[in-house]
């Protein structure tokens, strides 16, 4: 359950490390896996140590930028139709543009399988694993 002021890890390589939820879209009070939210970048990923000058140009977002995101993991457990319950260690999201395409080109970590039912197949294709 992601609501106003929730902090999430950004698991793509768009340049953001930690983001804060400022709005849940579609007239909902709390977002679940697969829902679209509006976030503000709170902490930038430090890529300058890896590739010196080239990494600064590769970052698509900076601290303070406002962007849309999709929730891919939540700490709150939720039930699946087969009767099992799933919960993750952290809240995580992937930044997207207005068209719904992911800003990053790679994802770090697993994402929830429920993204398939909500038509986020582009995010699933970038993910190394889904649970």
* Per-residue model confidence (pLDDT) at position 51: 55
DSSP 56-75: HHH----TT-EEEEEEEE-S
Q: What is the mean pLDDT of each run of 10 residues along the chain (131 residues)?
A: 95 95 94 96 78 61 95 96 96 95 94 94 94 91
Q: Hey, what CATH topology would domain 7-126 get?
A: Ribosomal Protein L14 (2.40.150)
Place of tokens 């430090």: 46
In 3-131, beta strands by DSSP E: 7-10, 16-24, 36-44, 66-73, 78-79, 85-86, 92-96
Strand (E) or helix (H) holding 118: none
Place of tokens 């890529």: 47
* Per-residue model confidence (pLDDT) at position 54: 54
* Per-residue model confidence (pLDDT) at position 59: 81
Domain ranges of the chain: 7-126
* Per-residue model confidence (pLDDT) at position 52: 53
Task: Give the Cα separation of 48 and 83 in Å (integer).
Answer: 45
């Amino acid at each position: 359950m992601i609501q106003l002021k929730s902090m999430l890890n950004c698991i793509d390589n768009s340049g953001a490390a930690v983001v804060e939820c400022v709005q849940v879209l579609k007239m909902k009070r709390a977002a679940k896996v697969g829902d679209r939210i509006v976030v503000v970048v709170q902490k930038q990923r430090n890529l300058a140590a890896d590739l010196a000058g080239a990494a600064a140009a590769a970052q698509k977002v900076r601290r303070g930028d406002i962007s849309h995101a999709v929730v891919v993991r939540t700490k709150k457990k939720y039930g699946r139709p087969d009767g099992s319950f799933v919960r993750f260690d952290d809240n995580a999201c992937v930044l997207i543009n207005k068209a719904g395409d992911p800003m990053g080109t790679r994802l770090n970590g697993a994402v929830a399988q429920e993204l398939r039912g909500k038509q986020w197949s582009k995010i699933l294709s970038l993910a190394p694993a889904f649970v």
